[in-house]
Structure 1
Amino acid sequence: MIIREWRGRAARSQTAEYPTHFRTNVVPELRNIPGFLGATLSKREDSERVEFVVLTRWKSMEAVRAFAGADPDRAVVEPGAVAALSDYDHTVRHYEVIESVE
């Protein structure tokens, strides 16, 4: 399994916009991609902004490429996400899962 990590940031006054976009746009699209196994959206707040971390789980790097294209390290950021965030990472990180405990 592959974990794909991406981060975006928003002003504290806009903490609801990205989670709404994630639920209504991103998740339904991801569910249609073969090899997509799931996703987690987390947040961390400080005094000025909130940082969102998206971890998606994929069966393989081939499945990641089906989503991300020829350059899997490039972030896929939809216009709705751009509008909801003050800034975001343009690249992602991939991790091979070697052990998982539930």
Structure 2
Amino acid sequence: MMIARIWHGKTSIENFGAYTAFLKKVAVSDYQKTTGFKALSFLRQIKNGEGHFTLITYWENLEVIKNFAGQDIEKAKYYPEDNNYLLEFEETVQHFEVFAS
């Protein structure tokens, strides 16, 4: 059964556009080259004076997520450049079975 992996991050409004560009350039290609990856949706909004990003990636199953995230698939994966943009680093992600799409 396909799995959705959901991550959330937030930036200042000043970094909203730059982080969007970074994600498009680095993260999207990183996901696309990972074995077991199916698709993704990057969502963004400005709320309460901050830029919020939600990433939903779709995977063949839980096991293949290790190809991207490592052995502990519950742990959020960050890039070194995230230090330049993110206001905080959430430690975990959520996984859901996709039962319809």
Same fold flag (TM > 0.5): yes
Q: Residue 82 of structure 1: CA displacement? A: 2.7
Q: Secondary structure at the match of 2:65?
A: helix
Counterpart in the other structure of 2:61: 60
Q: Which moved more, 1:63-72 or 1:80-89?
A: 80-89
- Whether 1:87 aligns to 2:88 is yes
Deviation of 1:81 (Å): 2.1
Between the two proteins, the alignment pairs up a number of residues equal to 100
Q: Could you list the per-position Cα deviations for residues 45-96 of structure 1 after superposition, in whole angstroms to 9, with x for gaps in the alignment?
A: 1241111001011111111111111100000010112322112321100000
TM-score in terms of structure 2 length: 0.91
Identity of aligned residues (%): 26
Paired residue secondary structure (1:88): coil
SS at match of 1:51: strand
What amino acid does structure 1 have at the position aligned with 2:4? I
- Cα RMSD, aligned residues only: 1.1
Amino acid in structure 2 at the alignment position of 1:82: N
Which has the higher mean CA deviation after the structures are superposed, 10-19 or 91-100? Answer: 10-19
1:3-22 equivalence runs, <5 A: 3-22=4-23
Which ranges of 4 or more aligned residues in structure 1 deviate by more than 3 Å? none
Aligned to 1:39: 40
Note the residue ranges of structure 2 that are not aligned, 5 or more in a row.
none
- CA–CA distance in structure 2, aligned partners of residues 3 and 71 of structure 1: 16
Q: SS of the residue aligned with 1:77?
A: coil
Answer yes or no: is the 8 Å Cα contact 1:21–1:81 preserved in 2: no
